[in-house]
Amino acid sequence: MTGQTTTHALDPITVEVIGAALSSIVEETGEALVRASYSTNIKERRDCSTALFDRQGRTLCQAEHIPIHLGSFLDFIPMLLADHDEKDLRPGDVFVGNDAYRGGGTHLPDIVLAEPIFVDDQLVAWTVNLAHHSDFVDRAHAHIYQEGLRIPPVRLYKAGELQKDIQELILLNCQVPRERLSDLRAQMAANRVGVQRFQELCARHGADVVLASGEALLDYAERKMRAGIAALPDGSWRFEDVFDNLDFDDPIPFAVTVTVAGDELSLAFEAPDQIRAPINMTRTALLATVYYIVKSVIDPTVLPNAGLARPISVDAPHGSILNCKHPAAVNGRVQTCQRVADLILGALAQAVPERVSACTNSTCSVAVFSGTRQSGPDAGTYWVYLETIGGGGGARPHADGLDGIHVHATNTSNLPVEALEGEYPLILERYELVDGSGGAGKHRGGMGLRRVYRATEDCMVHVDVSRNKSRSWGLQGGGEGGHGSYVTSPDCDPFERGYGTLRAGEWLEVITPGGGGYGTPQEDSETPIAAE
Partner 1 sequence: MMDGSQGITPAGTWRVGVDSGGTFTDVCLFDEASGRIEVWKVSSTPDDPSRGIAQGVEEGMKEHADGAESDPAAAIAYLGHGTTVATNALITHRGAKVGLLTTEGFRDLLEIGRQKRPDLYDLFADKPQTLVPRELRFELPERMLRTGEIDTPLDEEAVRKAARALKEAGVEAVAICFLYAFVNPVHEQAARRIVEEEMPGVFLCASHEIAPEFREFERLSTATVNSYLGPIMHRYISRLTPRLQDLGLPVAPHLTQSNGGVVRFEAAAQTPVRAVLSGPSTGVVAAQAIGARAGFEDIITFDVGGTSSDVALMAGGETAQTNESVVHGYPIKAPMLDIHTVGAGGGSIASIDSGGLLKVGPESAGADPGPVCYGRGATDPTVTDANIVLQILNPVEILGGRMKVRRDLAVEAIAKLGERLGMETMDVAQGIISVVTANMAKAIRVISVQRGHDPRNYALMAFGGAGPLHAVRLAQELGMTTVIVPRSPGILCAMGLLLTDLRADFSATKLTALEPGNVGTIAETVASVEAEATGWFDAEEIADDKRRLTRRIDMRYDGQNYELSIPLPEGPVTEAMLATLKQGFTEAHERLYGFAVPEERILCVTFRAEAMGLVQKAELPERELGDPDPSAAVIGSREVWYPETGGFTETALYAREKLAPGMAFAGPAIVEQMDTTTLIPPGVRATVDKIDNLILELSA
Q: What is the CA radius of gyration of the chain?
A: 23
Written as one string, the DSSP assignment of 465-504 is: -B-SSS----BTT--PPPPPEEEE-TTSPPPBTTEEEE-T
3-state SS, residue 4: coil
154-158 sheet: strands from edge to edge = 59-62, 48-54, 122-132, 110-119, 94-97, 154-158, 161-162
User: Is position 192 an interface residue for partner 1 (rule: CB under 8 A)?
Assistant: yes
The residues pairing with 459 across neighbouring beta strands, listed in sequence order, are 502
Residues 142-181 that bind partner 1 (CB under 8 A): 178-179
User: Is position 399 an interface residue for partner 1 (rule: CB under 8 A)?
Assistant: yes
Helices (H), 173-279: 177-205, 207-230
Residue closer to partner 1 (CB basis): 41 or 274: 41
Q: Which stretch binds partner 1 (CB under 8 A): 75-83, 111-119, 188-196, 241-249?
A: 188-196
User: Is position 182 an interface residue for partner 1 (rule: CB under 8 A)?
Assistant: yes
Beta strands 252-261 and 235-243 are: antiparallel
449 vs 459: CA distance, rounded Å: 23
Q: Which of 131, 188, 285, 287 binds partner 1 (CB under 8 A)?
A: 188
Least CB distance to partner 1 at residue 26 (A) = 11
User: Is position 305 an interface residue for partner 1 (rule: CB under 8 A)?
Assistant: no
Q: Which of 227, 433, 460, 487 binds partner 1 (CB under 8 A)?
A: 433
User: Is position 412 an interface residue for partner 1 (rule: CB under 8 A)?
Assistant: yes
User: Is position 54 an interface residue for partner 1 (rule: CB under 8 A)?
Assistant: no
Q: Which of 285, 449, 455, 529 binds partner 1 (CB under 8 A)?
A: 449
Task: Show the beta-strand stretches assigned E in 274-341.
Answer: 312-315
User: Is position 300 an interface residue for partner 1 (rule: CB under 8 A)?
Assistant: yes
Q: Which of 15, 41, 43, 112 binds partner 1 (CB under 8 A)?
A: 43
Interface with partner 1 (CB under 8 A), residue total: 71
Q: Are 339 and 281 in contact (CB under 8 A)?
A: no
Q: Which of 5, 6, 9, 16 binds partner 1 (CB under 8 A)?
A: 16
User: Is position 411 an interface residue for partner 1 (rule: CB under 8 A)?
Assistant: yes
User: Is position 55 an interface residue for partner 1 (rule: CB under 8 A)?
Assistant: no
Residues 326-385 that bind partner 1 (CB under 8 A): 356-357
235-243 sheet: strands from edge to edge = 235-243, 252-261, 264-270, 312-315
The residues pairing with 125 across neighbouring beta strands, listed in sequence order, are 54, 117
User: Is position 532 an interface residue for partner 1 (rule: CB under 8 A)?
Assistant: no
Q: Which of 20, 169, 261, 504 binds partner 1 (CB under 8 A)?
A: 20
Residue closer to partner 1 (CB basis): 125 or 297: 297
- What is the b/e burial string over 127-155, where b = at least 16 CB atoms within 10 angstroms of the residue's CB? bbbbbbbbbbbbeebebbeebbbbbbbbb
User: Is position 189 an interface residue for partner 1 (rule: CB under 8 A)?
Assistant: yes
Residue closer to partner 1 (CB basis): 327 or 484: 484
